[in-house]
Structure 1
Amino acid sequence: MVDHEVSIVAVMAAMGLSSVTVGRVSRLWGKSAARNGGRTHLLLGHLLDTAAVAGVMWDRYLSVAFRRRLDEVSGGRGKLWFMWVCGIHDCGKACPAFQAMDAVEAAPVLASGLVWGRLPTDRRKKWRHDVAGAALLKPRLIAEWGSEESAGWVWPLVAGHHGAFPSVRGLQPPHREVQGKGVGWEEAQRAVVDVFTRAVGFEDLAGVRPVGALRKAEQLALSGLIVMADWIASDSSQFPGLAEAAFVSLAGSRDRAEAAWGRLGLRGGWQGLPLPDDRLGPLTGRLGVSPRASQRELLERAWSMPVPGLQVVEAPMGEGKTKAALAAAEVLAARFGFDGVFVAMPSQATSDPMYEQVLQWVRSFDPELDSQVALLHGRRRFNAWWRAIWEGKPRPDDDRSACGHGTGQGVGFGDEDYGAIDEDADYGLQPAEPSAGCVLGAGADGPAHWFLGNKRGLLTAFAVGTIDHLLHAATRTRHVMLRFAGLAGKVVVIDEVHAADIYMRQFLVEALRWLGQAGVPVVLLSATLPPAQRQLYVDAYLSGVLGVADVREVVPEPGGYPCVTVAYGLGGRAVVETSREAVPSWRGSVPVALSWLPDVDPAGVRVADAVWECVAEGGVALVVVNQVARAQGIFEALRERGLGGDVHLLHARLCAAHRADRTAECLRLMGPEAGSDRPHRMVVVATQLAEQSFDVDADVLVTDLAPTDLLLQRIGRLHRHSGTRRAGVHRVPRVLVTGVEAGRDGVPEFLWASRAIYGTWSLLRAAALVTEAAGPLAAADARSVPLETAGGWSIPADVPGLVARAYGDEAVCPEGWREADVWRQWQARELKRMDEAGKYLLCRPREWAFPTLEGLHYAGSRAATEEELDAVVRDGESTVEVVIVRRVPGGYRTVDGTWLGVHGEVDDDEVTDWLMGGTLRLPSSLTEAARTGLRPLPGWSGRPWLQYLPALVLEQEGATLLGKQRVSYDGDLGLVVERQ
């Protein structure tokens, strides 16, 4: 039995190592004084620190499900094995290539007799210690474990701890000198591995051999946990350096790890959630819901699945899918040992209200868990609840301090590298820099700000964010394992899954494969999911479960709508089940009257006229158009007609503060709790921000034509809430479809912006389906069609049929629309987009069934920043976020007029808040000019949140030239872009 209380020197003595070897191993450094708070830290000290952090993570962070799997593959020694595999990661630092990197630290090593010759100076030939560790460990594992299979999945975990997994060919050193030659180096390298192994608790390296193997997706999650342990243990403020081996021990590292964990405020989620006493309790008790039939169906499926699997939920807008999904997540987590939830939303705008809903839900388990709920998008600073919890600001519902959390100081950039930044830079790699918002934790009772660092958000126990964060975990980018580790211990809920276009679907399919192989429960939600997409997602998940590249398990046709489809693996075979009988919706279908309003004028004057007529006697109208400039034009036209404060404008080119305020105001006046606040007359003019997950209730909808599923989503904002009082003229929900007009031979012509966003084929088929209900476009004029005679759809009964027809193989367009020609052009474009996405997917299709992570990063990604990665998964051009300031005599002011200073100086958090309220993302047409011409103001140097944020300086006349375009910001219209 190993005595863990003794120093590492005593361990080496007990092993019978020679004094020469002991002296040499005792001088190998792991963290240099120059980069470790002024104190050298020995290599063995860092290995033990990392192992000790892993031990704390096992006790307080890892999910029950993952601990169970590690126990299985290690023969019941899961915790000890996890500590070993996390700590061994840096064994490759015991080589000349690393030890020579700092001349001051190298001197004692040389003095001990470990010498080296001339090392390559070409950065491309440098021998990285992550790869060096795998190179020295791999042959020993094969020899002492007697199993190439076992060694084959473990050595990549060491080789990949700096974010990328090399191929086995990459383990060949470029020069013999860099790895260390001669008996002295070989003995020292062997001793580092053996001494660490013995100190952790194994008798020898042979005793570490696993009895089984993790699946590749589980290996990826484990790799992310290794990186997490390494970064925590590399924080010099928490783990000060130890330069004398006599002071290094596992017991000491445990004490340091326990203290650091507490100071950083780190913790897991449920940590073993008990099964609910009542099968409906997660809905009725925790969420206060009187269960609808569709919600009961989903919850019952969660109870009955024998193993974790995929659930695809299709139900009408407003049916309560999200609450049912949260209830199902509780059941799945309790039954199968998962520790938290990630809810993926289609956009930032939809993430905020979902964050608040999840926050309240998590509090129902334990009020202290609210500090473990993260909001993952770039504008979270403007969510009042997020700020209350993570920055210690007053809560939105009262004036008290937020639970005593935090200091009230603004969250800023961290200075710590968490073990990766400097070392990565030494090898010419893109640094894994902490992002804005990363500071040390606020203590055990507050939120763990460590999780706010770059690439770490998904490691938080509970998270709500855009679907991009899920898609990033399916890209072949550095540190992808951190993102996947954050998903692997959670139940994953993806809302509005239909919103992913064909490009994004490639990443979603890839993510589902990896999640399926990791055994992660996934719940997909949609009101308008095409059958082909349902089949695609089921096949992808089962591909991961079964570990084969191609799966085609026919999904039975649902018995009705709503419906729930489940897929899982059992005994090596796929099981797919769906609702065989119709599940009644919570409310009956109602007829929705459809009329054409032909108009392709970007200014939208005719649309404004029609909206004015619709609300002349009162009513609430929602106008959804496909272009910001068109929304601005309609808004101005309505104000000119005298609507004044009754008209609201909502789009993506509003600065953060204005957008947040207007969204909240619209939800207050048109949301489910509006009650007496609901105005007599109101118009909201919006872009696609109001398309989905926007819980408002309009009397009449005016919408640009969009693909059928998205058009139905917009209709879902119409007559949404029961009990809403409406004027008699609005007793029947009505939709005016615009953004289209009849061209030659009656073939529809679309707005240019609509064609650019959606493509002609999907618009053409949507127009055909609307024509069947509303009549020919050529003869249409919404104002001449009496409500009683207008054609329509029955919602929600017609939804699945309309979506199926819109995306099916059968022709739906009238003769003369040349549908086949348009389809061929569309198909060629879509195939090209699929191929483009394939360049960034985490795994090549032919390598999906490979059993290890070796060679996963066969080529790098061109995405170097979060913004570029967003563009990768969204198939968009990269964009730039800026903060708007106004130049005035003597200095600058914020967009709302707050004085800054001569050079833009910001002297307190309140001013920073006002300034940051002026952030917005520029359209992609301005990206090149912005990157060339915009910089932070001089007064922002060293200021958290601001020092890297470009300023869009509006001159005293209120505008500026950016490239060839005049850019201004109007308090009502938002960003206005005019070509000169």
Structure 2
Amino acid sequence: MEDERSVVELMRSMGLADEDVARVSRLWGKSAARNDGRTHLLLGHLLDTAAVAGVMWDWYVSAAFRRRLDEVSGGRGRVWFMWVCGIHDCGKACPAFQAMDAAEAAPVLAAGLSLGRLPGGRQKRWRHDVAGAVLLMPRLVAEWGGEEAAGWVWPLVAGHHGAFPSIAALRPPRGAQGEGAAWEEVQRGVVDVFTRAVGFEDLADVRPVQSLRKAEQLALSGLIVMADWIASDSSQFPGLADADQISFAGARHRAEAAWERLRLRGGWRDLPLPEDPLAPLTHRLGVQPRASQRELVERAWSMPSPGLLVVEAPMGEGKTKAALAAAEVLAARFGLDGVFVAMPTQATSDPMYEQVLRWVRTFDPELEPQVALLHGRRRFNAWWRAIWDGNPRPDDDGCGDGDHHRAAGMADDDFGAIDEDADYDMAPAQPATERAVDPATDGPAYWFLGDKRGLLTAFAVGTVDHLLHAATRTKHVMLRFAGLAGKVVVVDEVHAADVYMRQFLVEALRWLGQAGTPVVLLSATLPPAQRQRFVDAYLSGALGTADVRKPVPAPAGYPCVTVAFGVNGRAVTETSAEAVKSWRESVPVRLGWLPDTDPGGARVAAAVRDATVGGGVVLVVVNQVDRAQAIYRDLRDGGFDGALHLLHARLCAAHRAVRTAECLHLMGPEAGEERPERMVVIATQLAEQSFDVDADVLITDLAPTDLLLQRIGRLHRHSGTRRPTAHQAPKVLVTGVAQGPDGAPQFLPASKHIYGEWSLLRAVALVSEAAGTFAAADAGKGEAAGWSIPDDVPGLVARAYGDTGLCPAGWHEAGAWERCQAKERQRENNAEQYLLCRRREWAFTTLEGLHYAGSRAASEEQLDAVVRDGDPSVEVVVIRRASGGYRAVDGTWLGVHGEVDDDEATDRLLGGLVRLPPTLTDAAQTELTPLSGWADRPWLRYRRALVLDEGQSRLLGANRVSYDDVLGLVVKREAR
């Protein structure tokens, strides 16, 4: 068979001159110096990559994308996919690349190819990715009959190292690309023999019959990078320095063996349609469908094409389970291969990960290792650790202490090895771990743990940042987008994105709409204007039009489901035609005021004591860590008689995880008889969403109305919970606000800084309608009135963010609105410079120039800074100085220089991770460094150590910083 012939034999059969055969056979692709001591010839790497692409087609690429590539290629999708992946490195057939390694260049020179005089300096280096585009483009234009097809294919080659250049960049320095007949014949030979080897007659035969849409091109580019990185793993693809040993059949055998050893695979692989329309709920998830859940699944069945579903339903309604059921339907109907669930925080990602694990297991237990948890503290999740370490699973509740789950071999999770491509400042091509893999045993694919690869797993749960990263003009964005494009994307608590983050969410929806990726958005408190904007963004992508305005019909009630999709070139939006009944009756919630703007919160502590006189569980949610600590101190030092818990973002990772699990255990749906008679949880915004606890009384700092309603969602949340007689009706006390001298509200400075004045003023106005004025003299008079939850939720949110004035004239609402708008416009402008595609570029049909003036962000922290507009902050490891060395925050001995001997000690050390407040960022970056003993530990070598003296504190900038095991990080301004 032709594919079994060596490339040398193939070249001769194609009529290449002997000297050209010899020259093509000497071109190197991977140098011995950076390829485990073995040279790998260029044709070998091109065929290896094509062969990997073939295996990806068979076992990884979604059915939907396979269909699109079949359409584009005239029914030859598999071989066309192999060709476009393998041709990526053809630009290495030029003097600029071949001269990079003197030892490898010697045989090239000996074959009669001149390398000439090349420009010096890194900045003038001619990159082989761009060289490939220059090499191919004139031939594609000539042999494909014009620029249309060539115009979208060449950027795939030029961008395979993570950034798409503009056409102006395709101007090689003199001599870098190769001049003269010899180089021309060699470059033509490389392309022609590779093209023939993978199965085409010639380059003209490769011509696509139609174009991919731009978002589909981006997804394809990511798959090209994936194939390249796998084929660049020298441990799986040893170098071949003899062209007589290189054939496509050999490359295929190598690729199949590597795929099996690396345990790579896709997800559902042509998921069958459920026989019963509601089986994804009843059989798969074991729930008796509520009306709102049934509505969502039925909508997923009825959509004629992939689209957007926006689910608005009360807290505790079961939205996420319904979304998973809808995802199964959408995937089966439209040929998707997996699911990504985006959560607002790391803390909310962990329980969702465990839920998705159980769900995926019902399809096939072997899919369990294909579920990724994507956030920086995943190593503290007992389920993730057990799966990726190959240890016994925790109990089904996922709440094990995790002490026995070791991380052997996992230290390189976020840091990859480097190959040739480091010369171009590109991402590593090697897997991120050196763990030996036994192909005879089932287990996870450690390759996916490498940098930028997490979304490529079939199923993933992580923070919403990972979705937003895929909408940024940053390097290797194509890998992130490729990981989304073959999945159903679910975004929980979508209202939590602020105006800055929302720019990236809208951009992501536009690209996903164009890629034909179904998206499900979930919220209990979504302002109508945001719903409309999300719909318009998705439809603009689906229809390929920059600005679509398709008014969403007013929902008939609450809960509701909004559907948007494009069909036959037109936009369609629908909402629930009839009111969907919530699973529980609406309950009146009494609201009262507790005027207080003292950061110390003494009045709040006193109110807690009053509320728990006869027992009860009280949740206190405040807007500032210092205030939470002060209230806790007041209660603790005052001898509060009951369980007392403090939960905030300045707790180290280990303490925060334990406390969150304990609160969920004592106040969650399964608490039962273990629910304490008297307990208080003092928390910051961590308790605002996806925190499934049930409080008898809520005391909360004022927040914007939608967030206030989210906090109320933790109140009387579970049916059947036993409560003291005094707390049979849910009650909320709103604090953090008081009457100013002019009669207008005064807010805590922290609240005003976080949320802005306008949204707080309107929240005061709406609460006042139910609880009376917030003036101290009238505090509590409005407790008999209240809100009916959940019936009042959509109306309150709509009014809070509407354009009708709510506040008395003396509150100066108009001025606050103008300031709010000005700030939001500025934040939108700040975000626009990092968006994946500028508005004026949306009509462009190719990826050419996509990365013009893009962000250089590379690390996860840098990417987080791109998609979040808050003040920059730094994560550090709390270390205690001890006699003769150091100890971890839990007392584990570290050694004289902070050394750790094993992964268990590393785990305990990293349990001391804590994020500093932004006010300490500059000082931390200047004064804090890793301990010298961490240099050889990949998990630690880039971590800053916050070393506390024997008095358990230290000076950091102008602040005294200490860590208390109960209070967490305590920051005090030093007196001057």
Alignment-derived partner of residue 458 in structure 2: 461
| Distance in 1 (alpha carbons) for counterparts of 2:431 and 2:968 | 27
Report the alpha carbon displacement of residue 289 of structure 1 after superposing the two structures with TM. Answer: 0.6
Report the alpha carbon displacement of residue 864 of structure 1 after superposing the two structures with TM. Answer: 3.5
Alignment-derived partner of residue 218 in structure 1: 216
Report the alpha carbon displacement of residue 707 of structure 1 after superposing the two structures with TM. Answer: 0.5
Alignment-derived partner of residue 775 in structure 1: 772
- Report the secondary structure of 1:177's partner residue: coil
| Distance in 2 (alpha carbons) for counterparts of 1:122 and 1:479 | 25
TM-score by length of 1: 0.97
Alignment-derived partner of residue 861 in structure 1: 855
Q: Give a deviation string over 1:915-945, Cα, whole Å, max 9, x none.
A: 1111112112111211222121121121131
Instruction: Tell me if structure 2 keeps the 8 A contact 1:437–1:945.
Output: no
Alignment-derived partner of residue 886 in structure 1: 880
Structure 1 letter corresponding to 2:130? V
Report the alpha carbon displacement of residue 517 of structure 1 after superposing the two structures with TM. Answer: 0.1
Structure 2 letter corresponding to 1:772? E
Does residue 1:560 correspond to 2:557, yes or no?
yes
In structure 2, the CA distance between the partners of 1:430 and 1:914, relative to structure 1 (3 Å rule), is same
Report the alpha carbon displacement of residue 394 of structure 1 after superposing the two structures with TM. Answer: 3.9
Which of 217-226 and 951-960 deviates more? Answer: 951-960
| Distance in 2 (alpha carbons) for counterparts of 1:881 and 1:328 | 37
Report the alpha carbon displacement of residue 432 of structure 1 after superposing the two structures with TM. Answer: 5.0
Does residue 1:522 correspond to 2:516, yes or no?
no
Does residue 1:505 correspond to 2:502, yes or no?
yes
Does residue 1:81 correspond to 2:75, yes or no?
no
In structure 2, the CA distance between the partners of 1:836 and 1:283, relative to structure 1 (3 Å rule), is same
Structure 1 letter corresponding to 2:351? P
Report the alpha carbon displacement of residue 122 of structure 1 after superposing the two structures with TM. Answer: 2.3
Does residue 1:923 correspond to 2:927, yes or no?
no
Report the alpha carbon displacement of residue 445 of structure 1 after superposing the two structures with TM. Answer: 1.0
Q: Give a deviation string over 1:818-869, Cα, whole Å, max 9, x none.
A: 1001101111111000000001000010111211101111112142422121
In structure 2, the CA distance between the partners of 1:917 and 1:406, relative to structure 1 (3 Å rule), is closer
| Distance in 2 (alpha carbons) for counterparts of 1:160 and 1:81 | 18
Alignment-derived partner of residue 62 in structure 2: 63
Alignment-derived partner of residue 201 in structure 2: 203
Structure 2 letter corresponding to 1:296? R
| Distance in 2 (alpha carbons) for counterparts of 1:695 and 1:888 | 40
Which of 389-398 and 161-170 deviates more? Answer: 389-398
Report the alpha carbon displacement of residue 486 of structure 1 after superposing the two structures with TM. Answer: 0.2
Alignment-derived partner of residue 360 in structure 2: 362
- Report the secondary structure of 1:816's partner residue: helix
Does residue 1:305 correspond to 2:299, yes or no?
no
In structure 2, the CA distance between the partners of 1:946 and 1:41, relative to structure 1 (3 Å rule), is same
Alignment-derived partner of residue 251 in structure 2: 253
In structure 2, the CA distance between the partners of 1:437 and 1:800, relative to structure 1 (3 Å rule), is farther
- Report the secondary structure of 2:680's partner residue: strand
Does residue 1:574 correspond to 2:571, yes or no?
yes
- Report the secondary structure of 1:554's partner residue: coil
Alignment-derived partner of residue 321 in structure 1: 319
- Report the secondary structure of 2:577's partner residue: coil
Structure 2 letter corresponding to 1:579? S
| Distance in 2 (alpha carbons) for counterparts of 1:727 and 1:963 | 49
Alignment-derived partner of residue 481 in structure 1: 478
| Distance in 2 (alpha carbons) for counterparts of 1:640 and 1:393 | 43
What percent of counterpart residues are identical? 75
Alignment-derived partner of residue 263 in structure 2: 265
The equivalent position to 2:349 in structure 1, one of 351, 357, 361, is: 351
| Distance in 2 (alpha carbons) for counterparts of 1:149 and 1:674 | 63
Instruction: Tell me if structure 2 keeps the 8 A contact 1:598–1:781.
Output: no
Instruction: Tell me if structure 2 keeps the 8 A contact 1:596–1:780.
Output: no
Does residue 1:803 correspond to 2:797, yes or no?
yes
Does residue 1:112 correspond to 2:126, yes or no?
no
Structure 2 letter corresponding to 1:720? R
Report the alpha carbon displacement of residue 580 of structure 1 after superposing the two structures with TM. Answer: 1.9
Alignment-derived partner of residue 291 in structure 1: 289
In structure 2, the CA distance between the partners of 1:739 and 1:441, relative to structure 1 (3 Å rule), is farther
TM-score by length of 2: 0.97
Instruction: Tell me if structure 2 keeps the 8 A contact 1:597–1:780.
Output: no
Alignment-derived partner of residue 10 in structure 1: 9
The equivalent position to 1:739 in structure 2, one of 715, 736, 740, is: 736
Instruction: Tell me if structure 2 keeps the 8 A contact 1:63–1:338.
Output: yes
Does residue 1:97 correspond to 2:96, yes or no?
yes
Structure 1 letter corresponding to 2:773? P
Instruction: Tell me if structure 2 keeps the 8 A contact 1:414–1:434.
Output: no
| Distance in 1 (alpha carbons) for counterparts of 2:434 and 2:846 | 33
| Distance in 2 (alpha carbons) for counterparts of 1:932 and 1:714 | 38
In structure 2, the CA distance between the partners of 1:641 and 1:554, relative to structure 1 (3 Å rule), is same
Does residue 1:837 correspond to 2:854, yes or no?
no
Alignment-derived partner of residue 813 in structure 1: 807
Does residue 1:168 correspond to 2:167, yes or no?
yes
Q: Give a deviation string over 1:854-906, Cα, whole Å, max 9, x none.
A: 11111121424221210111112332221111110011111011111111111
Alignment-derived partner of residue 723 in structure 1: 720
Report the alpha carbon displacement of residue 441 of structure 1 after superposing the two structures with TM. Answer: 5.8
Report the alpha carbon displacement of residue 442 of structure 1 after superposing the two structures with TM. Answer: 6.4
| Distance in 2 (alpha carbons) for counterparts of 1:466 and 1:657 | 19
In structure 2, the CA distance between the partners of 1:134 and 1:440, relative to structure 1 (3 Å rule), is farther
Does residue 1:496 correspond to 2:490, yes or no?
no
Report the alpha carbon displacement of residue 400 of structure 1 after superposing the two structures with TM. Answer: 15
Q: How does 1:102-251 map to 2 (within 5 A)?
A: 102-173=101-172, 175-251=173-249
| Distance in 2 (alpha carbons) for counterparts of 1:928 and 1:432 | 30
In structure 2, the CA distance between the partners of 1:817 and 1:434, relative to structure 1 (3 Å rule), is farther
Instruction: Tell me if structure 2 keeps the 8 A contact 1:343–1:495.
Output: yes
Does residue 1:793 correspond to 2:787, yes or no?
yes
In structure 2, the CA distance between the partners of 1:645 and 1:193, relative to structure 1 (3 Å rule), is farther
Instruction: Tell me if structure 2 keeps the 8 A contact 1:8–1:246.
Output: yes
Which of 385-394 and 334-343 deviates more? Answer: 385-394
Instruction: Tell me if structure 2 keeps the 8 A contact 1:294–1:585.
Output: yes
The equivalent position to 2:688 in structure 1, one of 684, 687, 691, is: 691
Q: How does 1:346-425 map to 2 (within 5 A)?
A: 346-397=344-395, 409-413=408-412, 421-425=418-422
| Distance in 2 (alpha carbons) for counterparts of 1:965 and 1:614 | 36
Structure 2 letter corresponding to 1:274? P
Does residue 1:897 correspond to 2:891, yes or no?
yes
Report the alpha carbon displacement of residue 493 of structure 1 after superposing the two structures with TM. Answer: 0.3
Instruction: Tell me if structure 2 keeps the 8 A contact 1:342–1:463.
Output: yes
Report the alpha carbon displacement of residue 314 of structure 1 after superposing the two structures with TM. Answer: 0.4
Q: Give a deviation string over 1:49-86, Cα, whole Å, max 9, x none.
A: 00010011001111111111101101111110000000
Instruction: Tell me if structure 2 keeps the 8 A contact 1:392–1:406.
Output: no
In structure 2, the CA distance between the partners of 1:868 and 1:714, relative to structure 1 (3 Å rule), is same
The equivalent position to 1:827 in structure 2, one of 821, 829, 836, is: 821
Which of 332-341 and 948-957 deviates more? Answer: 948-957
- Report the secondary structure of 2:591's partner residue: strand
Alignment-derived partner of residue 661 in structure 1: 658
Q: Which runs of 5+ in 1 are unaligned?
A: none
Which of 746-755 and 442-451 deviates more? Answer: 442-451
Alignment-derived partner of residue 961 in structure 2: 967
Alignment-derived partner of residue 971 in structure 2: 977
Q: Give a deviation string over 1:784-835, Cα, whole Å, max 9, x none.
A: 548xx53210000100000000000100112211100110111111100000
Q: Give a deviation string over 1:69-126, Cα, whole Å, max 9, x none.
A: 1011011111100000000000000000000000000010011111122111122221
In structure 2, the CA distance between the partners of 1:400 and 1:280, relative to structure 1 (3 Å rule), is closer
| Distance in 1 (alpha carbons) for counterparts of 2:654 and 2:641 | 21
Alignment-derived partner of residue 535 in structure 1: 532
Structure 2 letter corresponding to 1:755? K
In structure 2, the CA distance between the partners of 1:469 and 1:442, relative to structure 1 (3 Å rule), is farther
Report the alpha carbon displacement of residue 780 of structure 1 after superposing the two structures with TM. Answer: 4.9
| Distance in 2 (alpha carbons) for counterparts of 1:649 and 1:721 | 22
Does residue 1:954 correspond to 2:952, yes or no?
no
| Distance in 2 (alpha carbons) for counterparts of 1:800 and 1:483 | 34
Does residue 1:848 correspond to 2:842, yes or no?
yes
| Distance in 1 (alpha carbons) for counterparts of 2:553 and 2:94 | 59
Q: Give a deviation string over 1:681-738, Cα, whole Å, max 9, x none.
A: 1111001100001000000000000001000000000000111111110011000001
